[in-house]
Structure 1
């Protein structure tokens, strides 16, 4: 699936609106006219009463939390229940205070990834709009940290979340800002042990990675869908977003200097060819973020260009600003994920197309699921293969944006889990 379907606006019950709330989406009337723009506040009881006097208000599907969850899961929840899309307005989250800080993620792994992405989008939007009180910030960021830990707890969860997020980010520019942040944060949490980061640096790295682009959240989504080069105004916002992001995070209660400095420096020119251990801590984290950012962004398509293949992205990471030497962060990524990370596609030497599930015994021999046969026909049941075997060797990487096969992510995560059992013979 290469893009998001066009949907009608999502109805929103007006009783869920309240005075003082900053809208995380645009409110429309029945004719599609804007009542309140995204980021505006409901200022007083009169404004609230006028909204509630309307029979119904709507949220553009693309701005609703539902849109992100639908896209992340790959299939509408209603597809499993036979429900109508008009029934799904209950999934629009408004009350941030209702988020239980200690409640674990539930559901399948794709559903958990969708939930964390939706939570992250609400969190980043609150920070960007200056709507997050300092006392709320600590609890919300702690919840993000725990969510990321749960998504990466164990080999299957870690590879599975990487698979889901990478597949989504590599097959469409939809919801790029949040998916890119979450994909990078998961990889940061996974690669940090290979880089021997102490716990304080690990936490600062992961949270900085998740929040690095908070000052250009909406602009990122616009640019992903824009076919032209950034305008002068857009370029100015891009150039200023690192410093602006650190200021927004400080206003939201972030006091960790390493976290803030890593956000400030995540696009700064750093001395090339310096070992991580020899860099100051804030520069060390910024360099890691820069490699992760470039690695993941290069595989993600834009309206203006297709995504690069995983093999090209790995080469970019390993040779990141080194003048021909090998970057230790890039090498750690290949050690962790292989040349072909989970969630990317490969063409096998006999012509089949396969989705990578996890790294194999060697960097170039992933465990994968064949989804299209050599005749170009989608398989009803994906076939689990070990590309270390001669009959299934990898011929090349295939950019996700070039693939039109429909992928059931629940099925792929289940195959991934099975591949780690003795019965699979992998």
Structure 2
């Protein structure tokens, strides 16, 4: 979001706020067309020390103001009339369709990696995607997790790109729980986006394949893709040892048996990515298999042989929650909903209820704070059992509301 500063007096004299106004951190303070005569609107404008507006809205408004002044001057109006000049209402800048901005990143990453065999510049393109994604998810991690987990449970198109971005998000949240620096997380991000470069196209094909892999060439390609991926990165100019090692070892089972203190930074990344890759795949749909529920995915990817989360599994569940954004759940109220955002506890997310207790679709999704006993999560639900798609525009609006107001009990 490209914001520019705005002084409150710039909009005085208008009946309605010409554009949406934001705080410095991107929080929406007032929507466009809010009535400026309303005392609550005035209080909010006066109380906020720094006001910001999207540059495109501001530029359109300034152009309209200039046209209005020119029009008054051409009519030989008095100075008082000139001071009263106001632009025509500014049409709102066309907002992206719900999910469109995330899909642009999916496509950009796919184009970058698909170019790996013909253009050594593909690594720079991947780094650009990583930087763009990190800028987009600032203060919007739950929204991003929601989109990539939910769409992964419904769509198989561009599977490799979606899986890479999903792994980047989940691994990044786990790394923050470990206290890793932002610089180190950036390397982890790039390893997540490139760890499957050597099997990218094959995975996009296999996700549409029903049944076990029978082609020995395909099996061999899958087995060698970590080493081959590291080779492609070196060939394309990557010299970061942690990035290269993370890609080369991200399927190495032996790392789990070693003491964490004995692992190099690249090996630590590889161990984390191996588990995240598996967990993320369980939450995704493929031909012949629906996506697993959140608890089923956790049981298969986060629990040890004793049925309890091991240290890495516990870390992942702490990072994204037992019920991550984008997963379906059933509540104590017998409503079925989709997780919008993580809560203060791993088992108490914020949910948008979609189906009522009788299983009928609600006219409007309803926020449910599962810290309340009447709305507590009873169980996770497999996406294949939920025959309604959450309206992404309403989900986006609820995410904006939560960002502005915070989770409430």
TM-score over 0.5 (shorter chain):
yes
TM-score computed with the length of structure 1 as normaliser: 0.69
Task: Work out which structure has the larger RCO, using CA pairs closer than 8 Å and 6 or more positions apart in sequence.
Answer: 1
Task: Kindly indicate whether the alpha-carbon contact (under 8 Å) linking 2:350 and 2:407 is maintained by their aligned counterparts in 1.
Answer: no
Residues 386 and 328 (structure 1), Cα distance of their counterparts in 2 relative to 1, 3 Å cut: same
Task: Kindly indicate whether the alpha-carbon contact (under 8 Å) linking 1:215 and 1:242 is maintained by their aligned counterparts in 2.
Answer: yes
Task: Kindly indicate whether the alpha-carbon contact (under 8 Å) linking 1:348 and 1:393 is maintained by their aligned counterparts in 2.
Answer: yes
Task: Kindly indicate whether the alpha-carbon contact (under 8 Å) linking 1:351 and 1:374 is maintained by their aligned counterparts in 2.
Answer: yes
Task: Kindly indicate whether the alpha-carbon contact (under 8 Å) linking 2:291 and 2:382 is maintained by their aligned counterparts in 1.
Answer: yes
Matched, 1:299 2:283: yes
Look up the match of 2:273. 289
> Which runs of no fewer than 5 residues in structure 2 stay unpaired?
1-94
Tell me, what secondary structure is at the counterpart of 2:256? coil
TM-score computed with the length of structure 2 as normaliser: 0.71
Kindly provide the CA deviation profile for residues 11-35 of structure 1, in whole angstroms up to 9, marking residues without a partner as x: xxxxxxxxxxxxxxxxxxxxxxxxx
- Whole-angstrom distance in 1 between the partners of 2:261 and 2:398: 39
Look up the match of 1:123. 112
Look up the match of 1:49. none
Report the aligned-residue RMSD.
2.2
| Aligned pairs (5 A) from 1:102-117 | 107=96, 110-117=99-106
- What is the CA-CA distance between 1:282 and the residue it aligns to? 2.0
Look up the match of 1:132. 119
- Whole-angstrom distance in 2 between the partners of 1:383 and 1:340: 18
Task: Kindly indicate whether the alpha-carbon contact (under 8 Å) linking 1:386 and 1:392 is maintained by their aligned counterparts in 2.
Answer: yes
Kindly provide the CA deviation profile for residues 216-238 of structure 1, in whole angstroms up to 9, marking residues without a partner as x: 11111111111121122211111
Aligned residues: 314
| Aligned pairs (5 A) from 1:203-352 | 203-230=186-213, 231-319=215-303, 326-352=309-335
Matched, 1:353 2:336: yes
Residues 391 and 370 (structure 1), Cα distance of their counterparts in 2 relative to 1, 3 Å cut: same
- Whole-angstrom distance in 2 between the partners of 1:424 and 1:298: 28
Look up the match of 1:146. 131
Task: Kindly indicate whether the alpha-carbon contact (under 8 Å) linking 2:255 and 2:267 is maintained by their aligned counterparts in 1.
Answer: no
Choose 1 or 2 for highest CA Rg. Answer: 2
Kindly provide the CA deviation profile for residues 200-227 of structure 1, in whole angstroms up to 9, marking residues without a partner as x: 5322211111111111111111111111
- Whole-angstrom distance in 1 between the partners of 2:255 and 2:238: 27
Task: Kindly indicate whether the alpha-carbon contact (under 8 Å) linking 1:195 and 1:329 is maintained by their aligned counterparts in 2.
Answer: no
